[in-house]
């Protein structure tokens, strides 16, 4: 067997083992055996870059390449469902359907309503080609790179299983409770804001610009709607059973019923039983099963007449409001929190509930002593949803106007619901937040320090800002309660090592509002030094691809503040990197040296201008037309036939978008 043949064989067998493990929960080989096959494939693929395939099982790990999502139109609009909340609504639906079908008998498929975000997957010749979010129902974001990392979504379907050449399948991407809890624990340790519920976490993750982040977060997907002209079967339920045979994860909890009582029984059962599921659900979905009957019922402008969602009632309890207190988070956001008489709710005793922000709180019109209704919905933290009996003898509670910690008047930024304490360099929770961000893994990565140690140092007066870390010595840290000798040495060592962190991460670490990891990288590469970034004008900043007005303004205002300038100068004196290293500059200029490249066609991942910039950054030249001197054609979809022919005649290689990105990606890996 040739290496090429072995690659194909390994891919097929790994697809099957993935399916056994992630969909069937029935692996037939050990984890070690799996890893060793994967390893073999990785090595072979590295030796055969010409066999690159975005659907290879090795691609499930994602990449660090910046994802810009392309907006694509849905072939068929993604409708949503009308919601109902009680039995009467369900009965009305049942009767409407029955009348719409002139009294014909009909079956209803009952399903769980998964609480994540909907996704549309397109397969061609048995391979995943595109994954698109719902968006506004008419068009959504192309998130294919991210979706490829979700293990339960098949990248290539088993041969001969009877799937048609093209079809679409829709479902819900979600984050199982276990992954959600692990993620929030990790974020807590790293001082990052927590996700309120698995749906937000799934949605934030799927829209992540970095597919290797997605790969690590343990997303899952259930498919619940199979579409396409050549899909076999004339019942919804039967079609999903077919999809299951093709390798898709379809819930085993769907039931076909033929009476209203059957629907009620399903609702009653799952209203309780859903608590034991590994994923969040927020209701059930009822669908008329026969596709012919679906067609005859048709749609309204917003939703099909043949389906409806029934939402579970969130559990509520009544108690008395005693006080509203205000928490200042590490970003400066001020959250009102209600203290209440303890009450039992969904199995736990609840004493506190969030009131979210000033608008939510004032809409409730609260007084101390009110009898309030507390609810636990999809959120982990309970919330007050209404007042049962107001205590009007007390004055209404108003949101505070000054920071409860430092007394500075609060600010509210346009488009944001929260109030913020703007005293970034003087209010303790904000100072601590900035230091935590500074030491975090993706910034300076001072991993021997955690939020508690930082709190401790701050309280002892050892540090007042992140720059102070570089003045710490053994004598200070060995004072009682600051730590043992071994621990202290470790801390000092990792502070010392952080001086070598590349400039782009230093730029991220200093905490310019809105300048995330990606923007910091972009700025660092564009300007090359802290000094140049600090002197950049608003105009110059906005010229850069990926930097909008909000980021540009924030950069300018950061470097206008003398306190920030002094902070950055101190970091420079302590020896942190303030310029792009030689290797990083070199990494930007080697690979395409001397190459003349023609760009042609329509692209999925980046715009034409971005590709042009990438070619230049890597030392290549973008040329307009194909000649014998052209090194290769970077071709998107629908490349013109004339160009294609000319390239063929001259023997000029055609490089796909993915292959091109892979070329640059490999280089970035080498530079790391």
Q: Which residues are catalytic?
A: 113
Interface positions, 593-652, toward ligand IVH (CB under 6 A): none
Residues 534-593 that bind ligand IVH (CB under 6 A): none
Beta bridge partners of 384: 374
Cβ partners under 8 Å of residue 78, min gap 6: 118, 120, 134, 135, 137, 140, 170
Each residue 296-315 as x (binds ligand IVH by CB under 6 A) or -, in order, gives --------x--x-x------
Rounded to a whole number of angstroms, the minimum distance from the CB of residue 254 to ligand IVH is 8
E strands in 207-280 = 220-227, 255-257
Residue number of the CB closest to ligand IVH reads 118
Least Å distance between CB 602 and ligand IVH? Answer: 28
Binding flag, residue 168, ligand IVH (CB under 6 A): no
Binding-site member from 45, 141, 168, 172 for ligand IVH (CB under 6 A) = 172
The least CB distance from residue 217 to ligand IVH, in Å, is 19
Stretch that binds ligand IVH, among 106-114, 146-154, 358-366, 418-426 (CB under 6 A): 106-114
Chain residues 214-253 in contact with ligand IVH, contact rule CB under 6 A = 224-225
Phi, psi torsion values for 375, nearest 5 degrees = -135, 145
Binding status of residue 114 toward ligand IVH by CB under 6 A: yes
Report the helix count and the strand count for the chain, using DSSP H and E.
25, 21
Beta bridge partners of 73: 139
Our CB check for ligand IVH shows the closer of 27 and 304 to be: 304
Q: Is 285 in the site for ligand IVH (CB under 6 A)?
A: yes
- The C-alpha atoms of residue 231 and residue 247 are separated, in whole angstroms, by 15
Q: Does residue 270 interact with ligand IVH by CB under 6 A?
A: no
User: 84, 118, 357, 498: which one contacts ligand IVH (CB under 6 A)?
Assistant: 118
Q: Rounded to the nearest 5 degrees, what angle is found at the Cα of 366, between the Cα atoms of 362 and 371?
A: 145
Q: Which residues contact 443 (CB under 8 A, 6 or more apart)?
A: 437, 501, 505, 508, 509
Contact residues for 398 (Cβ-Cβ < 8 A; gap 6+): 362
Q: Does residue 81 interact with ligand IVH by CB under 6 A?
A: yes
Position 80 contacts ligand IVH (CB under 6 A): yes
Task: Tell me how far, at minimum, the Cβ of 114 lies from ligand IVH, in Å.
Answer: 4
Q: Is 291 in the site for ligand IVH (CB under 6 A)?
A: no
Tell me the backbone φ, ψ of residue 452, rounded to 5 degrees. -70, -40
3-state secondary structure of 397: coil
Closer Cβ to ligand IVH, 225 or 558, answer by number: 225
Asked if 148 interacts with ligand IVH (CB under 6 A), we say: no
Distances (CA, A) of 151 to 31, 119, 221, 418, 540: 15, 15, 9, 37, 43
Which residues, at least 6 apart from 419, have a Cβ–Cβ distance to it below 8 Å? 333, 334, 357, 358, 399, 410, 411, 412
And the tokens for 378?
A: 């999809």
**Closer CB to ligand IVH, 219 or 410, in the complex:** 219
Q: Which of 44, 61, 79, 390 binds ligand IVH (CB under 6 A)?
A: 79
143 binds ligand IVH (CB under 6 A): no
Q: Which residues bind ligand IVH (CB under 6 A)?
A: 79-81, 111, 113-114, 118, 134, 172, 224-225, 285, 304, 307, 309
């Amino acid at each position: 067997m040739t290496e090429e043949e072995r690659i194909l064989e390994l891919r097929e067998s790994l697809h099957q083992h993935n399916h056994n493990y992630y969909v069937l929960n029935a692996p037939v080989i050990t984890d070690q055996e799996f890893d060793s096959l994967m390893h073999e494939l990785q090595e072979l693929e590295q030796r055969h870059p010409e066999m690159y395939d975005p659907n290879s099982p090795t691609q499930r790990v994602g990449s660090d390449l910046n994802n810009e999502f392309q907006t694509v139109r849905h072939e068929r609009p993604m409708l949503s469902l009308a919601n109902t909340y009680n039995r009467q609504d369900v009965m009305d639906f049942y009767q409407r359907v029955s009348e719409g079908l002139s009294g014909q008998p009909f079956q209803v498929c009952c399903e769980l309503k998964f609480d994540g975000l909907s996704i549309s997957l397109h397969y061609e010749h048995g391979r995943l080609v595109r994954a698109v979010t719902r968006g506004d129902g008419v068009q959504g974001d192309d998130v294919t790179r991210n979706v490829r990392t979700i293990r339960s979504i098949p990248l290539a379907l088993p041969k001969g299983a009877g799937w048609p050449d093209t079809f679409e399948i829709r479902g819900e991407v979600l984050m199982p409770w276990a992954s959600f809890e692990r993620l929030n624990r990790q974020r807590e340790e790293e001082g990052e804001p927590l996700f309120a519920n698995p749906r937000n976490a799934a949605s934030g993750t799927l829209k992540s610009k970095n597919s290797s982040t997605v790969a690590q977060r343990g997303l899952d997907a259930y498919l619940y709607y199979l579409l396409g002209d050549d899909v076999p079967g004339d019942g919804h339920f039967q079609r999903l059973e077919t999809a299951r045979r093709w390798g898709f994860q379809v819930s085993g909890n769907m039931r076909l019923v033929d009476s209203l009582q059957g629907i009620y029984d399903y609702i009653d059962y799952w209203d309780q039983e859903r608590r034991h599921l590994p994923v969040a659900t927020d209701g059930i979905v009822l669908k008329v099963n026969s596709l012919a009957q679906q067609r005859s019922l048709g749609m309204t402008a917003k939703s099909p007449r043949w389906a409806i969602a029934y939402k579970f009632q969130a559990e509520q309890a009544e108690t008395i409001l005693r006080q509203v207190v205000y928490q200042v988070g590490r970003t400066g956001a001020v959250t009102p929190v209600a203290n209440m008489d303890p009450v039992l709710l969904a199995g736990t005793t609840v004493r506190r509930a969030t009131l979210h922000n000033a608008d939510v709180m004032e809409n409730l019109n609260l007084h101390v002593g009110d009898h309030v209704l507390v609810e636990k919905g999809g959120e982990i933290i309970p919330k007050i949803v209404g007042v049962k009996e107001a205590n009007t003898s007390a004055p209404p509670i108003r949101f505070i106007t000054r920071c409860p910690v430092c007394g500075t008047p609060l600010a509210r930024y346009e488009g944001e619901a929260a109030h913020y304490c703007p005293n970034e360099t003087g209010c303790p929770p904000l100072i601590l937040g900035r230091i935590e961000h500074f030491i975090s893994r993706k910034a300076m990565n001072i991993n021997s320090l955690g939020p508690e140690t930082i709190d401790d140092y701050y309280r002892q007066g050892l540090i007042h800002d992140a720059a102070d870390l570089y003045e710490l010595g053994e004598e200070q840290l060995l004072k009682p309660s600051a730590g043992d000798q071994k621990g202290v040495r470790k801390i000092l060592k990792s502070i010392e090592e952080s001086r070598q962190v590349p400039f782009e991460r230093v730029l991220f670490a200093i905490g310019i509002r809105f300048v995330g990891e990606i923007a910091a990288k972009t700025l660092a590469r564009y300007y090359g030094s802290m000094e140049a970034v600090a002197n950049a004008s608003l105009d110059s900043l906005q010229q850069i691809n990926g930097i909008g007005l909000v980021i540009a303004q924030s950069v300018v205002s950061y470097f206008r503040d003398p306190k920030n300038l002094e902070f950055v100068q101190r970091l420079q004196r302590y020896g942190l990197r303030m310029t792009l290293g030689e290797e990083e500059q070199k990494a930007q200029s080697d690979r395409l040296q001397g190459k003349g490249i023609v760009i042609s066609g329509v692209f999925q991942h980046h715009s034409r201008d971005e590709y042009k910039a990438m070619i230049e950054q890597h030392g290549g030249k973008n040329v307009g037309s194909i000649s014998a001197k052209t090194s290769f054609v970077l071709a998107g979809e629908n490349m013109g036939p004339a160009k294609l022919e000319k390239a063929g005649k001259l023997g000029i290689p055609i490089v796909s978008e993915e292959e091109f990105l892979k070329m640059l990606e490999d280089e970035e890996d080498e530079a790391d």
